[in-house]
A and B are shown apart, each in its own frame.
Chain A
Protein backbone atom coordinates (compact mmCIF):
# COMPACT_ATOMS: atom_id res chain seq x y z
CA UNK A 1 0.00 0.00 0.00
CA UNK A 2 2.77 2.46 0.88
CA UNK A 3 4.27 2.02 -2.58
CA UNK A 4 1.27 3.89 -3.98
CA UNK A 5 1.77 6.95 -1.81
CA UNK A 6 5.43 7.12 -0.79
CA UNK A 7 8.48 7.52 -3.00
CA UNK A 8 12.09 7.47 -1.88
CA UNK A 9 14.64 10.24 -2.38
CA UNK A 10 16.40 7.88 -4.75
CA UNK A 11 13.24 7.44 -6.81
CA UNK A 12 12.81 11.21 -7.01
CA UNK A 13 16.39 11.69 -8.15
CA UNK A 14 15.68 9.31 -11.03
CA UNK A 15 12.48 11.15 -12.04
CA UNK A 16 13.60 14.77 -11.98
CA UNK A 17 12.96 15.09 -15.70
CA UNK A 18 9.90 12.88 -15.91
CA UNK A 19 7.21 14.91 -17.67
CA UNK A 20 4.47 12.95 -15.91
CA UNK A 21 5.79 13.83 -12.48
CA UNK A 22 5.65 17.24 -10.84
CA UNK A 23 7.53 17.81 -7.60
CA UNK A 24 6.38 20.41 -5.09
CA UNK A 25 8.07 21.57 -1.88
CA UNK A 26 5.89 22.74 0.99
CA UNK A 27 7.74 23.84 4.12
CA UNK A 28 6.85 25.09 7.55
CA UNK A 29 9.73 27.50 7.10
CA UNK A 30 8.57 29.27 3.98
CA UNK A 31 12.08 30.63 3.30
CA UNK A 32 13.65 27.18 3.02
CA UNK A 33 12.72 26.69 -0.64
CA UNK A 34 14.78 29.73 -1.61
CA UNK A 35 17.95 28.23 -0.07
CA UNK A 36 17.85 25.46 -2.61
CA UNK A 37 15.34 22.81 -3.56
CA UNK A 38 14.99 19.61 -5.52
CA UNK A 39 15.73 20.59 -9.14
CA UNK A 40 12.52 21.28 -11.00
CA UNK A 41 10.42 21.44 -7.86
CA UNK A 42 7.89 24.21 -7.49
CA UNK A 43 7.53 25.84 -4.09
CA UNK A 44 4.14 26.34 -2.48
CA UNK A 45 3.71 28.67 0.47
CA UNK A 46 1.26 27.18 2.96
CA UNK A 47 0.48 30.56 4.54
CA UNK A 48 -0.64 32.21 1.32
CA UNK A 49 -1.17 29.55 -1.34
CA UNK A 50 -2.60 26.53 0.44
CA UNK A 51 -5.39 28.19 2.36
CA UNK A 52 -8.18 30.65 2.05
CA UNK A 53 -6.50 33.89 3.05
CA UNK A 54 -9.74 35.55 4.19
CA UNK A 55 -11.82 32.85 5.87
CA UNK A 56 -10.14 30.13 7.90
CA UNK A 57 -10.48 27.29 5.44
CA UNK A 58 -8.61 25.09 3.02
CA UNK A 59 -7.65 26.54 -0.33
CA UNK A 60 -10.74 27.43 -2.40
CA UNK A 61 -11.35 25.20 -5.40
CA UNK A 62 -10.70 27.90 -7.99
CA UNK A 63 -7.49 28.96 -6.31
CA UNK A 64 -6.30 25.36 -6.22
CA UNK A 65 -7.04 24.97 -9.91
CA UNK A 66 -5.01 28.10 -10.63
CA UNK A 67 -2.11 26.99 -8.43
CA UNK A 68 -1.91 23.54 -9.96
CA UNK A 69 -2.35 24.86 -13.48
CA UNK A 70 0.43 27.39 -12.98
CA UNK A 71 2.62 24.61 -11.60
CA UNK A 72 2.15 22.64 -14.79
CA UNK A 73 -0.03 20.06 -13.14
CA UNK A 74 -2.97 18.53 -14.94
CA UNK A 75 -5.40 15.98 -13.57
CA UNK A 76 -3.24 13.10 -14.76
CA UNK A 77 0.06 14.36 -13.36
CA UNK A 78 1.68 12.47 -10.52
CA UNK A 79 2.35 15.03 -7.80
CA UNK A 80 5.25 14.31 -5.45
CA UNK A 81 5.28 16.43 -2.31
CA UNK A 82 8.06 16.97 0.17
CA UNK A 83 8.96 19.47 2.83
CA UNK A 84 10.74 20.20 6.07
CA UNK A 85 9.82 18.99 9.57
CA UNK A 86 9.39 15.42 8.40
CA UNK A 87 6.88 16.46 5.77
CA UNK A 88 4.37 18.19 8.04
CA UNK A 89 3.12 20.60 5.43
CA UNK A 90 3.77 18.22 2.57
CA UNK A 91 1.21 16.00 4.31
CA UNK A 92 -1.03 19.04 4.72
CA UNK A 93 -0.83 19.63 0.95
CA UNK A 94 -1.39 15.91 0.31
CA UNK A 95 -4.54 16.03 2.40
CA UNK A 96 -5.86 19.06 0.51
CA UNK A 97 -5.12 17.52 -2.88
CA UNK A 98 -7.04 14.42 -1.80
CA UNK A 99 -9.88 16.59 -0.48
CA UNK A 100 -10.13 17.95 -4.02
CA UNK A 101 -9.86 14.49 -5.55
CA UNK A 102 -6.42 14.46 -7.15
CA UNK A 103 -5.74 10.90 -8.17
CA UNK A 104 -2.01 10.39 -7.87
CA UNK A 105 -0.30 12.19 -5.02
CA UNK A 106 2.79 10.90 -3.24
CA UNK A 107 5.11 12.02 -0.51
CA UNK A 108 8.88 11.83 -0.75
CA UNK A 109 9.72 9.78 2.33
CA UNK A 110 12.09 11.69 4.62
CA UNK A 111 11.34 14.98 2.94
CA UNK A 112 13.71 17.90 2.65
CA UNK A 113 15.77 16.77 5.61
CA UNK A 114 16.72 13.47 4.01
CA UNK A 115 17.41 15.06 0.62
CA UNK A 116 19.81 17.56 2.23
CA UNK A 117 21.43 15.04 4.55
CA UNK A 118 22.14 12.77 1.60
CA UNK A 119 23.90 15.63 -0.18
CA UNK A 120 21.66 15.42 -3.21
CA UNK A 121 21.56 18.03 -5.92
CA UNK A 122 19.80 21.33 -5.20
CA UNK A 123 18.68 24.18 -7.40
CA UNK A 124 18.12 27.81 -6.44
CA UNK A 125 16.08 28.57 -9.53
CA UNK A 126 12.31 28.43 -9.59
CA UNK A 127 11.34 26.29 -12.59
CA UNK A 128 9.19 27.51 -15.43
CA UNK A 129 6.59 24.91 -16.24
CA UNK A 130 4.16 25.25 -19.10
CA UNK A 131 0.70 26.29 -17.94
CA UNK A 132 -1.66 23.33 -17.58
CA UNK A 133 -5.39 23.07 -17.21
CA UNK A 134 -6.64 21.62 -13.97
CA UNK A 135 -10.18 20.79 -12.96
CA UNK A 136 -10.65 19.98 -9.29
CA UNK A 137 -13.49 17.89 -7.94
CA UNK A 138 -15.82 19.18 -5.25
CA UNK A 139 -14.47 18.85 -1.73
CA UNK A 140 -14.60 15.35 -0.31
CA UNK A 141 -15.91 15.86 3.19
CA UNK A 142 -15.31 12.22 4.06
CA UNK A 143 -11.70 13.26 4.66
CA UNK A 144 -12.42 16.27 6.84
CA UNK A 145 -14.07 16.65 10.23
CA UNK A 146 -15.81 19.83 11.29
CA UNK A 147 -16.59 21.00 14.80
CA UNK A 148 -20.23 19.76 15.01
CA UNK A 149 -19.17 16.27 13.99
CA UNK A 150 -16.37 16.22 16.54
CA UNK A 151 -18.73 17.41 19.28
CA UNK A 152 -21.18 14.68 18.36
CA UNK A 153 -18.41 12.09 18.33
CA UNK A 154 -17.40 13.14 21.84
CA UNK A 155 -20.97 12.93 23.05
CA UNK A 156 -21.78 9.61 21.39
CA UNK A 157 -18.28 8.13 21.68
CA UNK A 158 -18.78 7.23 18.05
CA UNK A 159 -15.23 7.84 16.83
CA UNK A 160 -11.66 7.36 17.98
CA UNK A 161 -10.20 10.80 18.54
CA UNK A 162 -6.45 10.93 18.13
CA UNK A 163 -4.53 13.88 19.54
CA UNK A 164 -1.21 13.94 17.72
CA UNK A 165 0.34 16.87 19.59
CA UNK A 166 3.17 16.45 22.06
CA UNK A 167 2.42 14.98 25.50
CA UNK A 168 2.92 18.41 27.11
CA UNK A 169 0.32 19.96 24.83
CA UNK A 170 -2.02 17.03 25.45
CA UNK A 171 -1.86 17.47 29.21
CA UNK A 172 -2.17 21.24 28.99
CA UNK A 173 1.25 21.91 30.45
CA UNK A 174 1.95 24.12 27.44
CA UNK A 175 -0.44 25.82 25.05
CA UNK A 176 1.73 25.62 21.94
CA UNK A 177 4.93 23.90 20.88
CA UNK A 178 7.89 25.38 22.80
CA UNK A 179 9.10 28.60 21.20
CA UNK A 180 5.93 29.18 19.19
CA UNK A 181 3.15 31.67 19.97
CA UNK A 182 0.25 30.52 22.10
CA UNK A 183 -2.85 30.33 19.96
CA UNK A 184 -5.47 29.07 22.39
CA UNK A 185 -7.05 30.13 25.64
CA UNK A 186 -7.08 26.77 27.36
CA UNK A 187 -4.79 23.77 27.48
CA UNK A 188 -5.68 20.10 27.59
CA UNK A 189 -7.37 17.87 25.09
CA UNK A 190 -10.75 16.90 23.69
CA UNK A 191 -12.45 14.51 26.12
CA UNK A 192 -11.81 10.89 25.25
CA UNK A 193 -8.97 11.62 22.84
CA UNK A 194 -6.01 9.26 22.81
CA UNK A 195 -2.53 10.70 22.72
CA UNK A 196 -0.36 9.49 19.87
CA UNK A 197 2.25 12.16 19.10
CA UNK A 198 2.87 12.42 15.39
CA UNK A 199 6.64 12.22 15.88
CA UNK A 200 6.39 8.63 17.07
CA UNK A 201 5.49 7.65 13.52
CA UNK A 202 8.78 8.92 12.12
CA UNK A 203 12.32 7.63 12.13
CA UNK A 204 15.26 9.91 12.90
CA UNK A 205 15.90 10.45 9.20
CA UNK A 206 12.37 11.76 8.72
CA UNK A 207 10.99 8.68 6.98
CA UNK A 208 7.87 6.93 8.17
CA UNK A 209 8.30 3.93 10.40
CA UNK A 210 7.19 0.58 9.01
CA UNK A 211 3.51 -0.24 8.78
CA UNK A 212 3.98 -2.90 11.46
CA UNK A 213 5.56 -0.41 13.85
CA UNK A 214 2.90 2.24 13.21
CA UNK A 215 0.08 -0.26 13.65
CA UNK A 216 1.56 -1.42 16.95
CA UNK A 217 1.68 2.18 18.19
CA UNK A 218 -1.98 2.79 17.39
CA UNK A 219 -3.06 -0.61 18.65
CA UNK A 220 -1.35 0.27 21.90
CA UNK A 221 -3.74 3.16 22.49
CA UNK A 222 -6.78 1.30 21.24
CA UNK A 223 -7.04 2.93 17.82
CA UNK A 224 -7.63 -0.05 15.58
CA UNK A 225 -9.81 1.21 12.77
CA UNK A 226 -12.88 -0.60 14.07
CA UNK A 227 -14.68 2.74 14.20
CA UNK A 228 -14.20 6.11 12.50
CA UNK A 229 -11.02 7.95 13.39
CA UNK A 230 -10.62 11.71 13.74
CA UNK A 231 -7.09 13.09 14.03
CA UNK A 232 -6.33 16.57 15.31
CA UNK A 233 -3.40 18.69 16.48
CA UNK A 234 -3.11 22.46 16.84
CA UNK A 235 -3.88 23.73 13.33
CA UNK A 236 -4.29 20.54 11.34
CA UNK A 237 -0.90 20.03 9.74
CA UNK A 238 0.67 17.53 12.16
CA UNK A 239 -2.62 15.67 12.10
CA UNK A 240 -2.41 15.55 8.28
CA UNK A 241 0.80 13.56 8.78
CA UNK A 242 -0.96 11.13 11.12
CA UNK A 243 -4.09 11.08 8.93
CA UNK A 244 -1.86 10.07 6.02
CA UNK A 245 -0.33 7.22 8.02
CA UNK A 246 -3.67 5.95 9.30
CA UNK A 247 -5.44 6.12 5.96
CA UNK A 248 -2.74 5.34 3.44
CA UNK A 249 -0.16 3.27 5.31
CA UNK A 250 -2.46 1.31 7.59
CA UNK A 251 -5.35 1.44 5.15
CA UNK A 252 -8.03 2.40 7.64
CA UNK A 253 -11.06 3.42 5.68
CA UNK A 254 -12.78 6.08 7.69
CA UNK A 255 -10.17 8.59 8.83
CA UNK A 256 -10.75 12.33 8.97
CA UNK A 257 -8.54 15.26 9.68
CA UNK A 258 -10.06 17.81 12.04
CA UNK A 259 -8.17 20.86 10.81
CA UNK A 260 -9.98 23.19 13.18
CA UNK A 261 -7.98 21.29 15.79
CA UNK A 262 -6.97 22.73 19.14
CA UNK A 263 -6.92 26.34 17.94
CA UNK A 264 -10.66 25.92 17.43
CA UNK A 265 -11.58 23.66 20.35
CA UNK A 266 -9.28 25.30 22.88
CA UNK A 267 -10.80 28.71 22.20
CA UNK A 268 -14.46 27.70 22.38
CA UNK A 269 -16.48 29.02 25.26
CA UNK A 270 -17.73 26.17 27.46
CA UNK A 271 -16.29 23.42 25.28
CA UNK A 272 -15.46 20.43 27.47
CA UNK A 273 -11.76 19.99 28.10
CA UNK A 274 -10.01 17.04 29.65
CA UNK A 275 -6.84 17.44 31.72
CA UNK A 276 -4.36 15.91 31.98
Chain B
Protein backbone atom coordinates (compact mmCIF):
# COMPACT_ATOMS: atom_id res chain seq x y z
CA UNK B 1 0.00 0.00 0.00
CA UNK B 2 1.00 3.62 -0.38
CA UNK B 3 -0.29 7.11 0.26
CA UNK B 4 -2.47 8.30 -2.60
CA UNK B 5 -4.22 11.56 -3.46
CA UNK B 6 -1.58 13.32 -1.36
CA UNK B 7 -2.32 17.04 -1.26
CA UNK B 8 -1.18 19.92 0.88
CA UNK B 9 -2.15 23.57 1.07
CA UNK B 10 -1.78 26.60 3.30
CA UNK B 11 -4.70 28.57 4.68
CA UNK B 12 -5.45 31.03 7.42
CA UNK B 13 -7.72 30.04 10.28
CA UNK B 14 -8.72 32.69 12.81
CA UNK B 15 -5.69 34.77 11.76
CA UNK B 16 -3.30 31.83 12.27
CA UNK B 17 -1.57 30.38 9.21
CA UNK B 18 -2.10 26.64 8.98
CA UNK B 19 -0.86 23.86 6.74
CA UNK B 20 -3.31 21.14 5.74
CA UNK B 21 -2.18 17.75 4.49
CA UNK B 22 -4.66 15.14 3.29
CA UNK B 23 -4.06 11.72 1.78
CA UNK B 24 -5.58 8.29 1.49
CA UNK B 25 -4.05 5.00 2.55
CA UNK B 26 -6.17 2.04 1.52
CA UNK B 27 -9.78 3.02 2.01
CA UNK B 28 -9.12 5.54 4.75
CA UNK B 29 -8.44 9.26 4.43
CA UNK B 30 -6.16 11.11 6.82
CA UNK B 31 -5.96 14.83 7.40
CA UNK B 32 -3.39 16.56 9.56
CA UNK B 33 -3.13 20.24 10.32
CA UNK B 34 0.09 21.95 11.33
CA UNK B 35 0.62 25.43 12.59
CA UNK B 36 2.86 26.91 9.92
CA UNK B 37 5.18 28.47 12.42
CA UNK B 38 6.68 26.36 13.93
CA UNK B 39 5.19 23.53 11.87
CA UNK B 40 3.78 21.31 14.59
CA UNK B 41 0.89 18.99 13.92
CA UNK B 42 -1.90 19.82 16.34
CA UNK B 43 -5.07 18.46 14.75
CA UNK B 44 -5.77 15.30 12.86
CA UNK B 45 -8.68 13.19 11.70
CA UNK B 46 -9.30 10.02 9.79
CA UNK B 47 -12.40 8.81 8.01
CA UNK B 48 -14.04 7.60 4.82
CA UNK B 49 -13.92 10.77 2.70
CA UNK B 50 -11.60 13.69 2.11
CA UNK B 51 -14.35 16.21 2.87
CA UNK B 52 -15.21 14.54 6.16
CA UNK B 53 -11.67 14.30 7.52
CA UNK B 54 -10.83 17.87 6.54
CA UNK B 55 -14.02 19.16 8.15
CA UNK B 56 -13.30 17.34 11.42
CA UNK B 57 -9.61 18.29 11.48
CA UNK B 58 -10.44 21.95 10.78
CA UNK B 59 -13.00 21.99 13.59
CA UNK B 60 -10.42 20.62 16.00
CA UNK B 61 -7.80 23.05 14.77
CA UNK B 62 -10.10 25.99 15.27
CA UNK B 63 -10.96 24.86 18.78
CA UNK B 64 -7.29 24.56 19.74
CA UNK B 65 -6.25 27.79 18.06
CA UNK B 66 -8.90 29.73 19.94
CA UNK B 67 -7.15 28.73 23.16
CA UNK B 68 -3.89 30.29 22.02
CA UNK B 69 -3.31 33.57 23.79
CA UNK B 70 -1.35 36.49 22.42
CA UNK B 71 0.62 38.63 24.85
CA UNK B 72 2.02 42.13 24.47
CA UNK B 73 5.71 41.93 23.63
CA UNK B 74 6.84 45.22 25.16
CA UNK B 75 8.45 44.80 28.59
B2 and A199 contacting across the interface, CB-CB below 8 Å: no
Interface residue? A129 (CB, 8 A): no
* A36 pairs with B1, CB closer than 8 A: yes
Most buried by B among A122, A168, A177, A238: A177
In the complex, the answer to whether A36 meets B25 with C-beta atoms within 8 Å is yes
CB of A197 within 8 A of chain B? Answer: yes
In this assembly, does A178 line the interface, its C-beta being within 8 Å of a C-beta of chain B? yes
User: Is the CB–CB distance between B40 and A172 below 8 Å?
Assistant: no
| Number of inter-chain CB pairs below 8 Å | 102
Asked, given contacts A119-B3, A197-B38, whether A172 binds B73 with beta carbons under 8 Å apart, the answer is yes
Structural contact, B3 and A122, CB atoms closer than 8 A? yes
**Interface contact B71-A177, CB-CB below 8 Å:** no
Beta-carbon contact of A174 and B3 below 8 Å: no
Q: Mark A194-215, 1 if CB is under 8 A from B, else 0.
A: 0001110000000000000000
Flag if B2 contacts A174 (CB, 8 Å): no
A77 at interface by CB-CB < 8 Å = no
Q: Which residue of A lies closest to B28 (CB)?
A: A35
**Residues of chain B lying within 8 A (CB to CB) of residue A167:** 37
Question: Which residues of chain B come closer than 8 Å to A165, judged between CB atoms?
Answer: 38
Contacts of A36 in B (CB 8 A): 1-3, 25
Q: Does A84 contact B (CB under 8 A)?
A: yes
Query: In the complex, which residues 175-189 of chain A have their Cβ closer than 8 Å to any Cβ of chain B?
Result: 175-180, 182, 187
Q: Interface on chain A toward B: helix, strand, loop, or mixed SS?
A: loop
- The residues of B that contact A1 with a CB separation of less than 8 Å are none
Q: Does B53 contact A (CB under 8 A)?
A: no
Contact of A173 among B8, B71, B75 (CB under 8 A): B71
Whole-angstrom distance between the alpha carbons of A202 and B71 in the complex?
A: 28
Measured between alpha carbons, how far is A197 from B73 in the docked complex, in Å?
18
Distance (whole angstroms) from the CB of B48 to the closest CB of chain A: 15
Name the B residues within 8 Å of A173 (CB-CB): 70-71, 73
Q: Which of B38, B43, B67, B74 contacts A166 (CB 8 A)?
A: B38
Range of interface residues on A (Cβ < 8 Å): 35 or more
B4 engages A86 (CB within 8 Å): no
From residue B28, how far is it (CB to closest CB) to chain A in Å?
Answer: 8
Q: List residues of chain A with CB within 8 A of the CB of B67.
A: 179
Q: Are B39 and A85 in contact (CB under 8 A)?
A: yes
Determine whether B61 belongs to the interface, using a CB cutoff of 8 Å to chain A: yes
Interface residues of B in 13-72 (CB under 8 A from A): 16, 21, 23, 25, 28, 30, 32, 34-35, 37-44, 46, 61, 64-65, 67-71
Asked whether, in the complex, the Cβ of B1 is within 8 Å of the Cβ of A122, the reply is yes
Pair A35/B30 contact, Cβ less than 8 Å: yes
Min Cβ gap B18→A in Å is 8
- Which single residue of chain B is at the shortest CB-CB distance from A86? B39
1/0 contact trace for A26-48 toward B, CB 8 Å? 00110100011000000000000
List A70-125 residues whose CB lies under 8 Å from chain B: 84-86, 88, 113, 116-117, 119-124
A116 pairs with B71, CB closer than 8 A: no
Contact A275-B75, Cβ < 8 Å, known A121-B1, A122-B2: yes
Contact between B43 and A179, CB atoms less than 8 A apart: yes
Residue numbers in B under 8 Å from A116 (CB-CB): 3, 6, 23
Using Cβ atoms and an 8 Å threshold, which residues of chain B touch A178? Answer: 16, 35, 37, 42, 65, 68
